[in-house]
Chains A and B, each alone.
Chain A
Amino acid sequence: MINVNGESMDWQDGMSVRDILKARKFLFPLLIIAINGSIVDAKAYDITIVPDEAEVKIIHLLSGG
């Protein structure tokens, strides 16, 4: 189990940051993502593996026309 923005989410072995974005339907492009406090580079979402029990912050910047 991991925690994403304060909500529990099932964890799977080998789960990447991109997998979380897909599962949560987080399509917005301006994100700041931190795993256990460490910022993940936007180019590394596919290859960054999320460990079990991770604290994941996915901060969406502001939007709105």
Chain B
Amino acid sequence: MSHGEPINKERKHCNVDFTLRTEYIEGWEAIRAAHRLVVEVPFTPSLPQRGYNNRTLYVNFSTNEIKEKPVTQQMKDIFIGGRGFGLWRLWHAVTPKTRWNDPENEIVISPGPVAGITQYPGSGKSLVVSISPQTDIPIDSNVGGYFGPLLKFSGFDALELQGKAEQDVILFIDGVKGIIRIEEAPLEPINSHVLAEVLTRMYAESEEDRINVSVVSTGAGADHSLIGMLNFTWWDKRRGCIRLKQAGRGGIGTVFRNKKIRALVCRGPVIKADMNHVVDFETIAKTGIKLHKEIHNNDPHQCVMRRNGTAHIVEIMDAYDLLPTHNFQYGSHPDTHKIASTVWQARCTQMTVDGCWYGCSMACAKGADGLVLKTGPYKGHMVTVDGPEYENAAGLGSNSGIFDPDYLLELNFYCDTYGMCTITWGTLCAFIMECYQRGILNLERTGGLDLTWGNAEADLEMMHQVARGEGFGLIAGQGVKKMKEMFITKGWGDPQLIRDIGMENKGLEYSQYLSKESLAQQGGYAFTNKGPQHDEAWLIFMDMVNKQIPTFEDKAEALYYFPLFRTWFGLNGFCKLPWNDVVPSNNSQQPEAHKIPEHVQNYVDLFSATTGIQITKDELLMQSARVYNFQRIFNIRMGKGLREHDRAPYRSVGPVTREEYESRAERYDKQMRDDIGIDPAGKTTDEKIAIHRKYRTDRFEKLMDVVYKRRGWTSQGVPTYARIKELGIDFPEVLEVVKPFLG
């Protein structure tokens, strides 16, 4: 490996000298020479017709079997693609007893029928599905980068990975030559920013060909934790390096390494305009141009996504008291300006087009160039970091009391290259720090790590420990749920307090929004299929600020519509951001403006124009409802998915501690008077906390009742026979799962 080698003088942009970036290419020929071919299978490359290839690829690393499987009409009608295909394949691969590290567990990657169109922004997503090491139920994680579309344009609607290899292997799919190979790879570097750089060069046939290669990998963190994630690359021609996008949630990277997969590499054809062979290209082009113009004209006055990406909301969340601070205790902090979007504007190189798939004019991905690392195995290296996105700034930053942008970027970098989910790391580190501050942990228990609020060096060292497989890092890498159980078992603190402040539900860590003052968002997190991720429903403004959904029935309607609507993106290969982070100029004049109705119609038109199947907005929701309810039943099949699994840690519902209550005493006292009907005068803080707790917990339980009813579920959270039949998912094996609960 070389450090500081000249790359290409023409790649000097703005104020960052790209020529100084550390490169990792020296010696890759020797690494390749050590590969041993395990199996090679030819196939006939194809391009989709009307969005589908009508076949998926199955690879078993235990037996080295590689085969094609047909995509049936039923699969397309019921499961559409993406997450739907992943869940359907996974259902048939596992049993109720399967756990994440059993060989039959699978990782399924599927982009969806509309994925890969280059005319409409945000159309290059893939969905990754597996049984999660954190939750023991199916996890789904969406990701950009080129791998999914290149897989599809090589000839497969999904990639199904099962079994375990004996040695570390690389799966190579050459969609140009029609070759699939499993190769033992004994000398490959482990961490993603190095490995993906090496493999891109190794498998591209020329410098120009690098853009047609995408690598899926993880890092050393996934080897020693349950929170591993997958990095999907695309080749950044302007910078001359790989870029990384993450399938972060739920530990899929851990499953990947447990199967001894070092990397997946897909080399696809050169991307052209209509590789999906859609039915109505004119409609797709017209719809795309309309949104491109809208982004061009409106984004500079709206969310400024092209310049700031999702980090534009850091200071906004702070202003609304929603930015998680010190483990979700508070919603704002005086130092937030140090990690606000203006800071990232200065750190991220502008004037380059940053899209994780062709044709995305929203281009929210941002590269922070020129970061010189201060710690760890790459200390002194100059790297490009993707991000930070909002979740990273809030999770790795404010939630742990870290407001130093250099350290925040370094945390972001190491999470990525070690293959660990930034959201998960942010929430688990915040939990650890609060435990440390409250004496549940101490120097002896952390092995000498002084994990006080804001200690970024200790945070980084804990992360390096995970990657090295040693010390307290090994405990941290188990995630919040297992840490809670361990701390309680060891008698390290008040069990109730530990349960209340450990922000996980179903075993997955919360993403980075404060939900205490929005009952609808409490449900939006806890009633999710996979665990508390905001990609089902983000309702805080509607509920807390707008007061648009005051009744339980209003909230339930929102918790019916939005999870279904947003599920649909993951069936088809879409990114959510172009739906609601820019809006048409006349949106405010439209009925139900909060749904961005013109954009919803765009999606209806895109699906119909791609597949030739004419759908409506109602059918769009039904497509999602089939998959959403199937996933709920899949959870039940795995021993979860019931009411008891939808309950939330109290920190997400209301104030746990005196400090929390007293920091917002005026607000909470007013609520006690106006909403609960009790005069707070003369009551101690502990008494007031208890009154709030009973009131808020009762409301949460009532919301669950009303939401379940609206979704067509029993009071235990089981889809009813009538709902299952209405959706057309009344397969015998599905009915068998719900029968013990429905009679």
Contacts and interface: CB of A to CB of B under 8 A. Distances in A.
Interface of A: 5-7, 25-30, 32, 39, 42, 57-65
A65 B588 contact: no
B304 to A, nearest CB: 8
Contacts of A57: 546
B348 interface: no
Interface in B295-343: 301-304, 310, 313, 315-316, 319-320
Nearest to A64: B538
Residue of A6, A7, A28, A58 with most partner-chain B CB within 10 A: A28
A60 B588 contact: no
Contact of A63 (B315, B511, B541): B541
Interface string B533-561: 01000111110011110100000000000
A25 B332 CA distance: 13
B313 A65 contact: yes
A61 B594 contact: yes
B580 A65 contact: no
Given A39-B588, A59-B548, A64 B596 contact: no
Contacts of B542: 60, 62
B310 A59 contact: no
Nearest to B394: A65
B593 A32 contact: yes
Nearest to A25: B319
A6 B547 contact: yes
Given A25-B320, A29-B303, A39-B588, A61 B545 contact: no
Contact of B594 (A7, A29, A59): A59
B589 interface: yes
Interface in B590-610: 593-594, 596
Residue of B301, B315, B539, B546 with most partner-chain A CB within 10 A: B546
A59 B301 contact: no
A64 B322 CA distance: 11
A60 B313 CA distance: 13
A63 B313 contact: yes
Contacts of B513: 64
A56 to B, nearest CB: 12
B278 interface: no
Contacts of A59: 546, 548, 593-594
Nearest to B540: A64
Contact of B541 (A6, A39, A60, A65): A60
B263 interface: no
Contacts of A58: 545-546
B223 interface: no
A39 B591 CA distance: 13
B534 A28 contact: no
14 contacts: A5-B546, A25-B320, A26-B545, A29-B302, A30-B302, A32-B593, A60-B541, A60-B546, A61-B593, A61-B596, A63-B316, A63-B580, A64-B534, A65-B310
B57 to A, nearest CB: 31
Contacts of A7: 547
B341 to A, nearest CB: 11
Residue of B304, B545, B583, B587 with most partner-chain A CB within 10 A: B545
Given A60-B542, A65-B310, A65-B534, 10 more contacts: A5-B547, A26-B319, A27-B319, A32-B588, A42-B301, A42-B588, A59-B548, A61-B596, A64-B313, A65-B389
A36 to B, nearest CB: 16
A14 B152 CA distance: 60
B408 to A, nearest CB: 16
Contacts of A6: 547, 550
Contacts of B580: 30, 61-63
Nearest to A33: B588
A28 B391 contact: no
B390 interface: yes
Nearest to B534: A64
Residue of B315, B319, B588 with most partner-chain A CB within 10 A: B588
Interface string B360-396: 0000000000000000000000000000011100000
B362 to A, nearest CB: 13
Contacts of B316: 27-28, 63
Interface string B572-595: 000000001101000111000110
Nearest to B538: A64
A62 to B, nearest CB: 5
Nearest to B310: A65
B107 to A, nearest CB: 24
Contacts of A61: 541, 580, 583, 587, 593-594, 596
